[in-house]
Amino acid sequence: MSARAAQATPGSRCELPSPVRDLVAIRLDLNGDGRPDFLIPVECDGKRNCVMAVFLAASPCPVALGRLGDALGVDYGVNGRSDAIRPLRSLTSHGIPLVSGEADLHHAENTSVWAWDGSTWLHVHDDYRS
């Protein structure tokens, strides 16, 4: 992870972690407030399966909601692409949609779903296809 930090808004002192090299933050509205939230790839393996740091857009500073996935472990991360991760709008937990993400493995594809339990993200589903 880069030592530099991306600012949440121009001129603010609220800092977010920088995305890993060659990737950008993904913006999705997770809590239905009409403002895009931040999913930032902060750790990735060689195949761009990434752990995402999740922040809700809020004033004066974004609110950290922890991390999605483990790029090198059992709960696979997601590709650092905006089309590889999406909220499941019809399914919510504590007012936040479940989040689905895809990871490309060297021999298969893995789709994971995480649910917000009010204090952390829980890995609730895995679909592994070789």
In a domain, 1, yes or no: no
Contact between 96 and 102 under an 8 Å Cβ cutoff? The reply is: no
In a domain, 17, yes or no: no
The three-state secondary structure class of 15 is strand
In a domain, 4, yes or no: no
Provide the pLDDT confidence category of residue 33 given band limits of 50, 70 and 90.
very high
Domain count, the chain: 1
In a domain, 45, yes or no: yes
- Average model confidence (pLDDT) for the chain? 83
Structure-token match 């001129």, residue found:
11
- Which DSSP string do the residues of 25-88 spell out, in sequence order? -EEE-SSSSSS-EEEEEEEE-TT-EEEEEEEE--SSSPEEEEEE--TTSSS--EESSGGGEEEE
In a domain, 56, yes or no: yes
State pLDDT tens for residues 65-116.
Answer: 999 887 666 666 788 788 888 899 889 999 999 999 888 777 778 888 999 9
In a domain, 8, yes or no: no
Domain that holds residue 69: 22-129
In a domain, 14, yes or no: no
In a domain, 2, yes or no: no
- In sequence order, the 6+-apart residues with CB closer than 8 A to the CB of 14 are 7, 8, 60, 61, 62
pTM for the model: 0.81
Q: What is the pLDDT of residue 107?
A: 75
What is the average pLDDT across 23-29? 92
Share of the chain above pLDDT 90, in %: 47
